[in-house]
Structure 1
Amino acid sequence: MNHSDTPRVTVLTVPDCPSAPLIRERITEALQGRTVPVEWIEVQDADEAVRHRMTGSPTLLVDGVDPFAHSGAAPSLSCRLYRHADGTTDGAPAVADLRIALTGSGPSRTSPR
C-alpha cells in the first residue's frame, strides 16, 4: 500500500467526551472497507488544545488539517457541534461528510455497498 494514499487521521477529545463514541462509530462506518489507523488524543488542558489546534471536542484532523474548521474558531476544550445538510446538529460529522473528508472524494455520489 502506498503511504501517501492513506490519510493520517487524528481525533482530539477531552476526557469522557460524550460525543467520542458517536464520532468513533461514524468514522468506522465512513471507512467501511478501508483500513486507516486513527490516533485518539485526549486533550487535558487549554495549552494542549492550542498546540493541537483543537476547536472543541471532538475535533477530527486529516493530515493535520480540520476539514470541518470554521474561520476564526478559537482553540477550545468545549463540546463541539457539527451542522448537517438537513440543518440538524449533533456531536459528530455526518457519515457522508466524514467519507468525503477521509477519502478526498467529491460530493458523495457513490452507490451504497
Structure 2
Amino acid sequence: MALGILLILFIVMSLISILGLILMYSVKSEGAKKGTFYAMAVWGMIIAVLGATSAPTNWIIYQVLSWVFGFMGIAGILVYMKYRSEGRCMPAYLLVTASVVLGMVKSYMMII
C-alpha cells in the first residue's frame, strides 16, 4: 500500500514538473511567465529537499547532489533578478529547468 502511494506521489510530481515547465516557456504574458518561473524555482527547491531528506544518512553523495540541484534553482532566481531588466532571462530559465528536471531524474533513479 505504501509503495502505491509513493508511486502516485511520483507521478503527480512528474506531472507538476512537466506542466509547469511547459507553461514557463509557452506563456506569453510577462506577469504569468514571472509567476510560473518563481513557482518552478520553488518547486525545484522542494524536489531537492525531498530528495535530500529521503536518502539514508550514509548516502552523502546523493544528499549533496540533491542540494546542488536545489541551489541551481536559487542561482536561477539570482540570475533572473540581475538580468530581467535587460531582457536576458534565458540562462535563468535554463537553470530552473535543470534544477527541476535533474531533481526528478535523481528521484526516478532512487526508485529503481
Q: TM-score, with normalisation over the residues of structure 1?
A: 0.32
Pair member with larger Rg: 2
Q: TM-score, with normalisation over the residues of structure 2?
A: 0.32
- Whose RCO is larger (CA < 8 A, sep 6+)? 1
Higher helix share: 2
Higher strand share: 1
